Structure 1
Amino acid sequence: MTRRSIPARIGHFVRESLLNLLALGGIVCIILVILAFTFNISLIMFKTGSMNPTIPQGSLAVVREVPANTVEVGDIVTVDRGRGRLPITHRVIGIEPGPDGTTHISMQGDANAQPDPAIYRVTEVRTVLVSYPRLAYVIVRLSDPLVMAGITLFAALLVGWAFWPRRMEAEAEEVRAEADLTS
């Protein structure tokens, strides 16, 4: 039985630690996807500053889809505005039940002097659970094809390094140890 050299033991420890950390990260990602699907949770990015200072431009928000009749005045919600138009996220300033099962919501951005001109007739909205300033800029940057290619290449090299056969190194070390014993 031969003992590994100190650099070999350190390399083994680093390799195993990285694999365990990556496995844990994978498990966390799987759990988050399951929770997001189960609880109708998604992410939205803020391109404008209409909700300043509460939610600054460039923020990333976690939102949950809920029935519109559960919303209260003061809630920050995202509503869809129809085909070809981006959703809008503002604070609710008025709610009225509609005759056709919809809820009529009046909204206004915190940074806007006037309420939105439209009354939104909706059955479901997305309520903002939490927002993270400037994180949208990070997501946009990471979405760049060159950055994605770099991350993919790095991950492939890391996996290749972690799973590279170590038998030849161990055999060479064993031969050296036997040579030391015979001399």
Structure 2
Amino acid sequence: MATPVTRRSLREQSPSSVAPAAVPAVPTGAAGRRHPGRLIADALLWLAAVGGVICIVLVVLAFTAQITLIMFRTGSMSPTIPAGSVAVVQRVPASDIAIGDVVTVDRADELPITHRVTSVEPGATADERIITMRGDANAQEDPFPYTVTSVRTVLFSIPGIATVIAGMGNPYVLGALTLAATTVVVWAFWPRAERAERAERRGRDGGSP
């Protein structure tokens, strides 16, 4: 005759007698390894992200601190700033100019010129200064002085990258970069969604392959 089940008998049962719920096994092996192509795609995505952050920072600096970039196509400031360099410059009032500064002067109907200041004289107003300049590679000063109310002073320069930056303005280069970035994004994210769906299906089916 079967023994009746009472509340007391249920309370006296040991918790260890209850069988633990089955835990689905985590797939290992080939599914857990990362393909070399995936590593390359992730690295390219990180590079693109870093480049995007740098562009955002430059835009913010241009509007808030008037910091921009200029490229050197000639070697008039060699060896301090050789041809092919990119300099980071900041616009400052003429009253901040000192002898020895390397500054960029904007000229009407001509390209800007970046040379070293050799003299500073007061101008017609309190905001104006009359400066003379000379390139480090030049034996003589520029042929005439410059009357300025503001200039762009060189903070620092990076040699050899002007060609790369100038090349990015080419429409064919921009098109190739856009196509490459699109390919990397699709390659990086599309397979991840497929793997997630397969893993979810395996979980619903009880872990069967």
TM-score (norm 1): 0.82
Partner of residue 147, structure 1: 173
Partner of residue 79, structure 2: 53
Q: What's the % identity of the aligned pairs?
A: 51
The structure having more radius of gyration, on CA atoms, is 2
Tell me, yes or no, if structure 1 residue 120 matches structure 2 residue 120: no
Residue of 108, 114, 118 corresponding to 1:89: 114
- Shift in alpha-carbon separation, 1:23–1:6, aligned structure 2, 3 A: farther
Unaligned runs of 5+ in 2: 1-23
Residue of 26, 32, 49 corresponding to 1:3: 26
Partner of residue 208, structure 2: 178
Distance 2:194 2:136 in 1: 65
The 3-state SS of whatever aligns with 1:143 is coil
- Shift in alpha-carbon separation, 1:146–1:54, aligned structure 2, 3 A: same
Distance 1:99 1:155 in 2: 54
Q: How many residues align?
A: 177
Partner of residue 103, structure 1: 129
Give the RMSD, CA atoms, in angstroms: 2.7
Question: CA offsets, 1:1-23, max 9 Å, x none?
Answer: 45345444325x84777656654
**Deviation at residue 61 of structure 1 after TM alignment:** 0.4
Distance 1:24 1:52 in 2: 31
Distance 2:167 2:155 in 1: 24
Tell me, yes or no, if structure 1 residue 161 matches structure 2 residue 187: yes
- Shift in alpha-carbon separation, 1:16–1:135, aligned structure 2, 3 A: closer
